[in-house]
Structure 1
Amino acid sequence: MVRKIAELIRDNRRFLVAAHGKPDGDALAATLALANALKSMGKEVVAYNQDHPPVDLQFLPGCDALVTTLEAGSRFDVGFILDAGSLDRAGSHLKEHCRLLVNIDHHPYSESFGAVNYVDVRACATGVLVYRILAFMNYTFDLPVATCVYTAILSDTGSFRYSNADREAFEVAGRMIELGVDPWEISSRLYESQPEERLHLLGMALGTLEVSPCGRYASLTVTLDMYQMAGASAEHTDRFVNYPRSIEGVEVALFYRQVDENRFKVGFRSRGRVDVGAIARQLGGGGHHNAAGALVDGSIDLVKQKVSRLLTPVLAAL
């Protein structure tokens, strides 16, 4: 599969690189790693996302060239869709702009929407899959590409704290450091450059903390009213779910984020014993064994009841 992708890169000229909307660290960094590398090979490249990048990721090299719209009639030889799981998460319209699509992903149950589908659920991050492709091509990694690859790995392994932080994650990250990546600088940009609004919102969210009677799952909630009071937005909620996850005895953490009057995005995080991806799929969402999400209609009380009905029997069986 890597060889096929390498041949497509060598044999074509115009490329689109995109990832799922509301990009996280892996999605955006993988996009920019591949886009920057293709540009350095002399290719014509457009890096695209349907949403603007989060503030804490705007330091990534090439981020200023990312576009959120495509010109009508623009055409590309190959469109790379990264970390998406399904084409609609990146934008179903993208297929109209590309002669063929390549799906590069590490999500389980990733849809085979590409002419080429490079999916490895064992990979710690989509950024690692991009690294494998470039390494196969004997690409000489420069600092901008190395910075993006390292950030993708750091982000999706939770700073190397999650179970997906495998040997490859450390080996590739180490190679990027040898090329000049400064781990402290990137960690500082990601985790220690927070806007004041985020902390105001976090204070409100922590006030909603609920721990189940069994002590095995816990949740935080953010509502539209809270955004308004804090002067914040959805992008400021990144990593909020890690707070209930850090409670001793909690197996599954939940983060309820209101997106409309009667709709909530539910984020799931597992310590490893519960496959939250399977639970999210029952709610119409998806994701990994340890990290998943779903959009659920209803009031916050109704949404919590729906989640509890699915989660409680799973935890009781542990």
Structure 2
Amino acid sequence: MNESFTLKNFYFYLIVIAFLTVAVFPYNPVLGTIGVIAWVLTASYAYRSVKKYNDIVNDQFNNLHKDFEKITERTIFSMPFPLVVTDREGTIVWHNSLFGELFDAEILKGKSLPAYIEDLADEETGLKAVENGTEVEIKEQPYRAYNSVVDFQKNGKEDVLSLFYFVDHSQYRHMERLYEDEGGVVLVVEVDNFDEVVDGAPTSKKPLLIAEIDHRINEYFRSQNALVRKFQEDMYLVVLRKVDILPIVEQKFDILDKIREIDVENTVSVTISAGVSRPGLSFIEAYKEADTCLDVALGRGGDQVVLKNDETYTYFGGKSKAVEKRNKVKARVLGIALRQLIDKSNRVFVMGHKNADMDAIGAAVGVMRAVLNQNKEGYIVLDDVNPSIEVLIKVMKREEPELFKRIVSGEYAEEAIRQGDLVILVDNHKPSFTEYPPLLERTSNVVVIDHHRRGSEFVADPVLSYVEPYASSTCELITEMLTYMYDDTELTNFEANALMSGVVVDTKNFTFKTGVRTFEAASVLKRAGADMSQVRYFFEDDYDTIVSRAEVVHNARIIFDNIAISRLEEDMPNSVLVSAQAADELLGIHGIKASFVLTKKKEVIHISARSFGDISVQLILEQLGGGGHLNMAGAQVKSDDMDAVEKQLTDAIADYLEKDKGEKEQ
């Protein structure tokens, strides 16, 4: 029987002997006396055994405590980390030699720890409380700090000691940087308008042109250690590391300029567009992201590179005009697809942008013709009739009363729409700029038809997207699609006039962004009964509008030698229209290359911008959340302080001009 078992049973023995002694003593005093003696002996033995056991345990504990103190002391002094002990205020009480070596000092006792490690400084307490694993910087090297705090009594008062030890994190940081630098990046490169470019070269030079394009793309990316593969006649897949793409980003993808310099007697300039993924994705995810970025680049007119960041996009290039495509296959394919979507839908809701203009309302009227041709129920979503479309709406009410009844408010459309119904956005691709944004959340079937350069904000997963920046207007795109959807468009005179008005307003009477397809669309509308005198009637202005426009032009000032900027201070019903017209007129001033007009509408500052193309007003206004085209753009800034918004605009112009100057010098 072991000792611990004996000690556990002594109490039982004593109780049994005491019970027997008490029971026997009255009957046999001798046996009772023997019992008493046995009980005393047993109790004495138990006492000595317990005392001996306790002494052994105490000796073992004391020896263990001394051994533990020795082990702890040796461990602390031999710890391969810099260690330091401080008091409550951060004054160094003790440190090991490794900590002293960090600061080339043998003795730091009595000095302040935050004075040497700023990341541990606290304005109120002097020493910052840190969580274990907090990263700090010591002599420009990364360390992870670990902290243990001990409360104790000293001279009857509470005191605190803090033990800090620091683990060198530089190797981990190096591995982290190495992992990031080695992350794969995927680019998808497309030659813009490849067929048109090749067709524009002499027959004998076509093979040379294709070879030169292929050579420059391969040479440029292979010089950066990239893998380049051509998988279509106009498409390239490029794979490289993040560390290898950084120099390309610093050079702002000058491949765009190198490709543009190709000249083998081709009449159409060679340009490329590319989408770039983020590093760290799987190759399948990276390819999909790069392909999406390429769609954005093409949607903005091509001749540019779009790089995906965490939440937004970064754009390179995009300073050349979108080239008109002679190939109409896309218009035919998408026109047929739109007809099928309309045919499968129960109802169709057509919606433009806020403060609708002639292009937006004209395009909506054109889409409604397709809806009516399919014998479907359709509506135009329009909350406010602004002065720029007021005359057209009046004529619609008089000449097309059934169509006029199809104009509904956003709230009505939201209540009426059902999942499966079709929403068609025209002249806009940004959800926040639509006439009634909540409507997009009521159905997953959304079609986008627009001619503005695509921005970072875009409708999520549209079932059909037709964004062509080369086009003069959305009305041009709609007219072209209608000719492929039906042998006879069945356009009424009013509908033809409405579509023609959209073309006229966005081309400034066929002087801006007017290509062969623009005139072809105009000829279709003319044959359908468009009357230019009636179209002109849509644009007639009242006396107050003319006076206000003249006042804006009169108050304009010139900045950066060739940019005109002005304001329309009065919040008028047609202030947005007046500011746009004034921006057009300011371009008529000799030497002016771009114009900007600000006007206040409720709690929003509208900016209308125009240029001749040398200055990209689109890139400037994108910095303020706007967008548009190279020579025609707009922005809406939520603010009631016009001075502050004008300062933002001026800064954006200065930033653009500085970057443009730097690129030209390179």
The TM-score with structure 1 as length reference comes to: 0.87
Distance 1:69-1:269 versus aligned 2 partners, 3 A rule: same
Displacement of 1:244 in angstroms is 1.0
Post-superposition CA distance 1:206-228 (Å, at most 9, x none): 331212261x1112211136x4x
Q: Which amino acid aligns with 1:118?
A: Y
Residue in 2 aligned with 1:83? 427
CA distance in structure 1 between the partners assigned to 2:485 and 2:437 by the alignment: 29
* RMSD of aligned alpha carbons: 2.4
Residue in 2 aligned with 1:309? 651
CA distance in structure 2 between the partners assigned to 1:81 and 1:171 by the alignment: 24
Residue in 1 aligned with 2:372? 39
CA distance in structure 2 between the partners assigned to 1:295 and 1:73 by the alignment: 28
Distance 1:10-1:213 versus aligned 2 partners, 3 A rule: closer
Displacement of 1:88 in angstroms is 1.9
Residue in 2 aligned with 1:217? 563
SS state of the match for residue 85, structure 1?
coil
Residue in 2 aligned with 1:178? 527
Post-superposition CA distance 1:57-90 (Å, at most 9, x none): 3235545642223435312521101111212211
Query: Tell me, which stretches of 5 or more residues in structure 1 are unaligned?
Result: none
Residue in 2 aligned with 1:57? 392
Counterpart selection for 1:165 from 514, 534, 538: 514
Residue in 2 aligned with 1:244? 586
Counterpart selection for 1:194 from 522, 532, 541: 541
Name which of structure 1's ranges 25-34 and 1-10 shifts more when overlaid on structure 2. 1-10
Counterpart selection for 1:20 from 346, 350, 353: 353
1:113-128 → structure 2 map (5 Å cutoff)? 113=460, 114-128=462-476
Matched, 1:3 2:336: yes
Name which of structure 1's ranges 244-253 and 116-125 shifts more when overlaid on structure 2. 116-125
Q: Which amino acid aligns with 1:3?
A: I
Residue in 1 aligned with 2:615? 274
Counterpart selection for 2:416 from 71, 74, 96: 74
Contact 1:2/1:118 (8 A) holds in 2: no
Highest RCO, 1 vs 2 (Cα 8 Å, sep ≥ 6)? 1
Q: Which amino acid aligns with 2:359?
A: D
Kindly indicate which of the two structures has a greater share of residues assigned to helix. 2
Contact 2:583/2:596 (8 A) holds in 1: yes
CA distance in structure 2 between the partners assigned to 1:137 and 1:126 by the alignment: 16
SS state of the match for residue 224, structure 1?
coil
Contact 2:342/2:374 (8 A) holds in 1: no
Counterpart selection for 1:101 from 436, 439, 446: 446
CA distance in structure 2 between the partners assigned to 1:244 and 1:251 by the alignment: 9
Contact 2:350/2:424 (8 A) holds in 1: yes
SS state of the match for residue 241, structure 1?
helix
Displacement of 1:38 in angstroms is 1.5
SS state of the match for residue 306, structure 1?
helix
Matched, 1:134 2:482: yes
Name which of structure 1's ranges 139-148 and 265-274 shifts more when overlaid on structure 2. 139-148
Distance 1:16-1:167 versus aligned 2 partners, 3 A rule: same
Name which of structure 1's ranges 266-275 and 8-17 shifts more when overlaid on structure 2. 8-17
CA distance in structure 2 between the partners assigned to 1:171 and 1:280 by the alignment: 32
CA distance in structure 1 between the partners assigned to 2:597 and 2:349 by the alignment: 33
Displacement of 1:272 in angstroms is 0.7
Residue in 2 aligned with 1:265? 606
Distance 1:209-1:46 versus aligned 2 partners, 3 A rule: same
Q: Which amino acid aligns with 1:245?
A: L
CA distance in structure 2 between the partners assigned to 1:250 and 1:34 by the alignment: 38
Displacement of 1:136 in angstroms is 1.6
Post-superposition CA distance 1:95-151 (Å, at most 9, x none): 244351111111112524322212112121111221232222125232233222212
Query: Tell me, which stretches of 5 or more residues in structure 2 are unaligned?
Result: 1-333
User: What is the percent sequence identity of the aligned residues?
Assistant: 21
CA distance in structure 2 between the partners assigned to 1:19 and 1:167 by the alignment: 26
SS state of the match for residue 416, structure 2?
coil
Contact 1:6/1:133 (8 A) holds in 2: no
CA distance in structure 2 between the partners assigned to 1:139 and 1:92 by the alignment: 35
Residue in 2 aligned with 1:153? 503
Displacement of 1:255 in angstroms is 0.6
SS state of the match for residue 595, structure 2?
strand
CA distance in structure 1 between the partners assigned to 2:442 and 2:369 by the alignment: 20
Residue in 2 aligned with 1:208? 555
Distance 1:194-1:138 versus aligned 2 partners, 3 A rule: same
Name which of structure 1's ranges 59-68 and 239-248 shifts more when overlaid on structure 2. 59-68
Contact 1:73/1:97 (8 A) holds in 2: no
SS state of the match for residue 150, structure 1?
helix
CA distance in structure 2 between the partners assigned to 1:184 and 1:156 by the alignment: 17
Q: Work out which of the two has the higher radius of gyration on C-alpha atoms and give 1 or 2.
A: 2
The TM-score with structure 2 as length reference comes to: 0.43
Q: Which amino acid aligns with 1:199?
A: I
Post-superposition CA distance 1:217-263 (Å, at most 9, x none): 112211136x4xxxx542551412112111111111111112357x5
Name which of structure 1's ranges 307-316 and 35-44 shifts more when overlaid on structure 2. 307-316
Distance 1:99-1:260 versus aligned 2 partners, 3 A rule: closer
Q: Which amino acid aligns with 1:271?
A: F
Residue in 1 aligned with 2:138? none
SS state of the match for residue 16, structure 1?
strand
SS state of the match for residue 239, structure 1?
helix
